[in-house]
Every structure is written in structure tokens, then in C-alpha cells.
A and B are shown apart, each in its own frame.
Chain A
Amino acid sequence: MNKDRIEKIIDDLCRLEPSLKDSRQELRPVVEKLLAARPEAQPDSRLLADLRQQVLAALEKRGAAKRPRPSFVLKDFLAGLGRPAYAIGGAALALLIAVPLLKLGQQPTAGPYLSGDLAANQKSALTTGQISSVADQAFGSLAEAGGPVSGQPEAAAGLGGGGGRAPASVPVEGAAPNDTKMMIYRPVTFSFSYSGEIEAPDSQVEVLKFDTAVSRPSLAGWAGQLGLGLIDLSRLNQLKAQTVSLSEDHEYGYQISINYDEGTVSVYQNWEQWPQSYSCDADGVCQPPSRIQPSQLPDDAKVIESADAFLRQIGISTASYGQPVVDSRWQLQYAASDSPEDYWIPDVLTVTYPLIVNGKKVYDPSGSLFGPQVQYSVRYQRVIGVGPVSASDFLASKYPAQTDVSAIEKAVERGGLNRWLGPTDGDNVEYQLTSSEEAYQLTYRYRSGGRPDKLLVSALAFAVDHDSVSASRTEEVYYNDFVVVPLVKEFYDQADQLPQIEPRTVSPAIESLPVPPPVSDDE
């Protein structure tokens, strides 16, 4: 204890009690002794820190519940869910941040939780579909794209891709029961025929580039609250949120994922709050749920009605999307299955809200409608998720078009602009295509490092007539509803340069291989 401190104490005592001025010398040893003996009234530092967190969390929760907000899309969403969609201070929360909640089509207004730079950054990304023209071929070469040429997925068993093949099991005839030969898969190739006329496009066609200007919101002023007391985030610089995960902690609650880099929002079940479809006994032995029966399936209108209602409830606008469509492709395989009683009927039905840009539908690289999807659970009889929802402006540039109609026709015949695998000794199944319409096809241009560019390429979409083939087995079912071909010439040039791969044919040597003996239970 230093002397200055003791003198200060004595000075204060003398101010309180002037009669002590003449007793300063006597006071010094008394003051020293008494100071050493004074009761401590200091709280535990850890307790103070914990309490601080609790207090600020309570303040945040209270402020979020009471703060007046302008019309925000997620604000309506939160209100529709019935309670604040974020739990503070609990282990269930991945990360809590008050996010700027902006309605599609509205310019953001500075709400209580918007820092200045955030309000400025959140501009056009959340407006819908504005297209700005830029110079021709402004996006550079599209040939680097993973796009329509290599974007077509290889066909998996039972699924169609553009011109892909599906394995088909073919029993080898003449095999004795105890000398059974291997089941050999024979490929099925698909081809397509369009009886209508394909017109040559203009010399140039449009390519749109997603111009999503969402930026990561700053955590200025927030960082101190978010470190769980384990780290002082306020000591890090320019901290911004990339993704935010929120959860509802009540029965049938949802989990919301917001990605500021992608400009997307997705909603999923908060699994902890939904009843499990598996039933488990006291010993932990679980039984899978029973199969869905066809009679349990609601009709498409009911599924769409539920999807629409859910989107309304959480404030997601459907203004940018076309007529929703229930994905019923599984029914094609179900109908062709030789044992429908064993076919696993899906317990989740998907409703796609197709993105409409410039009045045209958008298709993904595989030829499916592109847009947010709502998942409807047949078991729970309610929506279990939606996503990803996004909104973007676009930059539009002109690129040289494929004006050679025969090249387009060949691509259509193959089911898309993919590698031509050549004839096989398997089965070829030809589907008829009905109507065609102008469309966009989504493609990605991958660069070394950085995020790929998302592009919409002018294309033609042809509807597949599934009734044109009486599929006798599931492998003959073409699993897409559309054949989509791009109209940008650069993609055709790229496709011509790709190496041709000879398809593998069935080898007689393989047919003669014996089946390995079964493994006994004793081994």
C-alpha cells in the first residue's frame, strides 16, 4: 500500500470530520491496519462475465421481440413461425446474429440492426430480376464452363441423362441353377425425335450472368456477444458473417440457413424438434418406418396448396416463379417396375417453383426445371423444407449463336449437347419430343480459385412424351421431363473437340465367369 494512497484516505477523512485534522500522525498506522482488514466486496470476475452475457442476451431477445420493423420478408417469416426464430445463449444455436431482413423488391431501410455499411451493401441483390445489358461477350469465353457440354450428368442406374445410358440386367440363358452365370448389365441408350421444325436462331443469343450483390453483413457492435465467452471477437478486424444458422426450438420447428455469399435462404426441419420416423425400443433396436402406400399419397393439387401456404406463411414471394410443379418422375419407374409392391414410393414429394427470367423458364444442367424446391412430407403431412431461395439481378451479354440447324437437331437427338457415346449392342430406346420453347439453361463457369460464375444460356427446351415409349422395365424410363440444348455456338465447338469414348460392350469372356460361392454365416 503506497503512501500517497494513505494520505488520500486521510484527506477524505478530514473533509468528512474536520476535527481529525490535528490527528493526522495518529491516523496513519490506524489507516494502514484498517485498510488491510476491510471486508472485501468484490464479485467473482467469471461471474460478472457470465452475467454480462446473460444480460445482453436477454436485452437482445427483448429488443427483437419489441422492435418495430419495416416490412421484411424474414420478419413475416418469423411472425409466421409464431415465435422468434432464434434462441439466444442456448446450445442449440449455431450462431446468432440479427440479420437485415429485406423484402424482395424493396430497397433496404436502415433498421436497428443494420450498420451503415451493411445498409449500403445490401442493394440490388435482393431486388428481383433486373437485367442490365453489357457489351457483347463481356463474360469472356464460356468454354471454361462446366456447362451444357459437361454439365450433363452421367446416367445412373435407372435414370436418364442426355443421351446417357442405364444399365440393364440381362440373365444369361442356358445357365444351370448351380452354375449360375453373372447377371450382366446391358446399357440402354436413349435417343429423341422431334417432328416439329427447329428454326435457326439469330446470329447472336443472350447469355445472362447472375449479379448477386449480397455482401457479408458487418458484425460491428455485435462481435463482443458472439464468442461464447471463449474468445474476444471484438479484437478481430472487419468481422463479417458468411452464413447464419437459426433454429426454432419448439415442436415441428425449422432451421433456417442464410448464406450471404450465395445470397440464398434455405429452410429445413430442426430435426431435434420433429418426431422420428423410426421407432426404437428400450434396447435401442430401431425399426424403419413402414412403406408409403399409393393410397397415402395426396394429389398434386393438395401438395401444391400446402407448399403455397407454407411460402405465404414465412413470407417468401413466388412472384419470380412460374407455375409450381410436383416432381412425379418416380411414377414413371413405378409404372414400369416388374414388382411394384417392392418399389419404394417416396415419402417426400418435391414441388419445384421454376425460375422465370425474361418470361422464360430456367433449366438446370441436367434438364430439370430450376428454382426453389419445397419438400412435402407424406408422413408428417406438412412441409419439411424449402430452398434455396434467392433473388438476383442479371447482366446480359450477346454471344454468337449456333445457326447450323442440323447441329442443333443432332444435339436434340442425343438428348443434349453431351458426348456422343456411339452405338452399342445394348438397347436403344427412342422417345418422342413434343413442344419446344425458348428457355435458359443454367451453367457454371469454373475459374481457378474463387467462386464459379452462374450463367443462364439461351436454349431450347423440348418436352419429353413419356407415353411414346412403353417401358417394360425401369431402365427404359427416361427420368427427365425435358431435353434442353443450348444455342451458344461456343458450346458446340467445345463438344466437337472433346474425345470420343467408345462404349464398353458386353464381353463373352465376362459372361462365362462363374458366380462366386455365397459366404456362409459361419465365416
Chain B
Amino acid sequence: MDQSTERKLLERCRHGDSEAFGEIYDAYARPLYAFIYYKVHHRQTAEDLLGQVWLKAVENLDRFNEKRGRISSWLYRIARNQVIDHYRRHVPGADIEDVWGLADPASAETDADTRLKVDMVREHLTRLKPTEREIVIMRVWQELSYAEIAEIVGKSQGNCKVIYSRAVAKLRDSMPLAAWLAFLLAGWRP
């Protein structure tokens, strides 16, 4: 959904047309789910957090200022924070910035097939810094634009591109081809 459409829907929503927000929901519910799932690797947890994200969005919709960014980026930021809060509650004492690393494949919480597939790239991704890892996942698996990534992580677009290219270079150097492809393709969506 382009930014112009987002703004029109938001305007309608502010005039009481709830269905306009429904269209925003339809556009971003699945990508947000994927965003969360790639962090928690557990379907039930991802579903619960997805619900929390949207209800949080409703609660704070009045405060959203489209001049400061897209609503999609705002939603992703909420999702990111919800995942961090989730780990704060369930894994006390852990480095909550390293959300990716906290999704322990040995944990019973991780979906079995995800465990198998992520194993191929996990070792290599853990060598990246948390922000590098997050940007790479958003760019590669979720195909978010640099503008959206910048709004989510709170950095400039230029900075995000530099971080991404350095992260990709690190991965290419450390991964065998198959693992590198597995990583690149794990987030592919038709």
C-alpha cells in the first residue's frame, strides 16, 4: 500500500469510517505477523503478539502523526516493541535488544519446522550485531524499503543502507552458499 493511500485511509478513519482502518489492517496484518514470527518462531506467540499490536495501534491512533512517517512503519515499531516486551516478561535478565538471538531453537516454544530451517542460518546470523541482524531480516525476508526500515529502527536511510551492506558482506564471507541461500530465501514470499 503506498503512502498516499495510507493517508487517505487514515483521514477517513479519523472521520469515523472504521472500515478504512480495516483496509489498513488487511494490508499489513500478514506482513506484521511474519515480522513477529521471524523473531519469536512460535505461531501461538506470534498470533497473540499480533493481536496486541493492533489493539495497541487502536489505542494510540489519535497520537499517530503521518508527517513523521508512514503508518506501516509505525505499526512495525509497535510490533517490535511488543516482541521486546514479550521477552522482557518471559525471559527476564536476557539482553532484550538481541531479540533474534533469544529465539532459542532448542526451546520447546519454537515451531519444529522453523527450528530445522533456521538452524541452517542461525549460527551465521548470531555473528551479526543485533541491529545489523534486524535490518538484514527486514530487508531480505520482509522486503521493507530502506525508508520503512529507517523509521522502524530510528536511524537514517543512509545509515541503514550502510549497515545492511556491511551485514550482507559479513554473512557472505561466513556462510557456505547453501546456507546463504537458505537465509536469503527463508523470508521469500510469492
Question: Which A positions have Cβ atoms within 8 angstroms of B?
Answer: 5, 9, 13, 16-17, 19, 23, 26-27, 30-31, 34-35, 37-44, 47-48, 51-52, 54-56, 58-60, 62-63, 66-67, 98, 111-113, 221-222, 224-225
Contacts and interface: CB of A to CB of B under 8 A. Distances in A.
13 contacts: A5-B190, A9-B188, A19-B172, A30-B177, A34-B178, A39-B111, A42-B30, A54-B51, A56-B19, A56-B22, A60-B18, A67-B16, A98-B16
B58 A62 contact: yes
Interface in B21-42: 21-22, 25-26, 29-30, 33-34, 37-38, 41
Given A55-B54, A55-B57, A56-B25, 8 more contacts: A23-B177, A37-B117, A39-B186, A43-B43, A52-B26, A54-B51, A60-B18, A225-B19
B117 A55 contact: no
B2 interface: no
Nearest to B189: A41
A17 B58 contact: no
A59 B16 CA distance: 9
Given A43-B33, A55-B55, A59-B18, A17 B168 contact: yes
A47 B188 contact: no
Given A58-B55, A59-B61, A112-B16, A43 B47 contact: yes
A196 B57 CA distance: 75
Query: Which of A19, A35, A66, A221 has the most B CB atoms < 10 Å from its CB?
Result: A221
B50 interface: yes
Interface in B110-143: 111, 113-114, 117-118, 140
Contacts of B29: 43, 48, 51-52
A98 B46 CA distance: 33
Nearest to B34: A41
A225 B17 CA distance: 11
A134 to B, nearest CB: 39
Q: Which 4 A-B pairs have the closest CB atoms?
A: A112-B16, A41-B34, A41-B37, A39-B114
Contacts of A37: 117, 182
B23 to A, nearest CB: 10
Interface centre among A13, A26, A62, A63 (most CB of B within 10 A): A63
Nearest to B172: A17
Contact of A51 (B16, B50, B62): B50
B94 interface: no
B91 interface: no
Contacts of A67: 16
A406 B22 CA distance: 71
Nearest to A63: B16
